[in-house]
Amino acid sequence: EIVLTQSPATLSLSPGQRATLSCRASQIIMNNYLAWYQQKPGQAPRLLIFEASNRATGIPVRFSGSGSGTDFTLTISSLEPGDVAIYYCQQRSNWPWRFTFGPGTKVDI
């Protein structure tokens, strides 16, 4: 099973600052099948990024993803108060498909 580790656990920044969130995998993630989700309190997760660097429909351009292999990054270029949330990375392994999530990074403003 591929284990995902996220850092930092908590990120406290000010509005307008840049947030850099890391996701590291215990094995190479094939085809960059790595996604990022945002979960606000009391809500379901929302897809932000898929295949490591593709923004989902309706996601603002200040959210960007990068990386390959075992190291991936989610960047929020200019934080807004509405970005307070927990951010999770998630991967899908090769067949038979298995899906795992990272433990999350909490972003506070």
Partner 1 sequence: QEQLKESGPGLVKPSETLSLTCTVSGDSVRSSNYYWNWIRQPPGEGLEWVGFVSHTGSTTYNPSLRSRVTMSLDTSRDQFSLKLTSVTAADTAIYYCARGDSLSGMFDVWGQGSLVTVSS
Query: Using the rule CB under 8 A, which residue among 23, 59, 102, 107 binds partner 1?
Result: 102
Under the binding rule (CB under 8 A), the answer on residue 67 touching partner 1 is: no
| Shortest Å, Cβ 43 to partner 1 | 8
- DSSP letters along 62-91, please? TEEEEEETTEEEEEESS--GGG-EEEEEEE
| Shortest Å, Cβ 54 to partner 1 | 8
Query: Using the rule CB under 8 A, which residue among 77, 100, 106, 109 binds partner 1?
Result: 100
Q: Which amino acid is at 30?
A: M
**Tokens 């406290």, residue?**
12
The number of angstroms, rounded, from the C-alpha of 96 to the middle of its chain's C-alpha atoms is: 23
Under the binding rule (CB under 8 A), the answer on residue 97 touching partner 1 is: yes
Query: Using the rule CB under 8 A, which residue among 5, 12, 99, 108 binds partner 1?
Result: 99
Q: How far apart are CA 53 and CA 63, in angstroms?
A: 10
Cis-peptide into 45, omega within 30 deg: no
Binding site for partner 1 (CB under 8 A): 1, 33, 35, 37, 44-47, 50-51, 56, 88, 90-92, 96-104
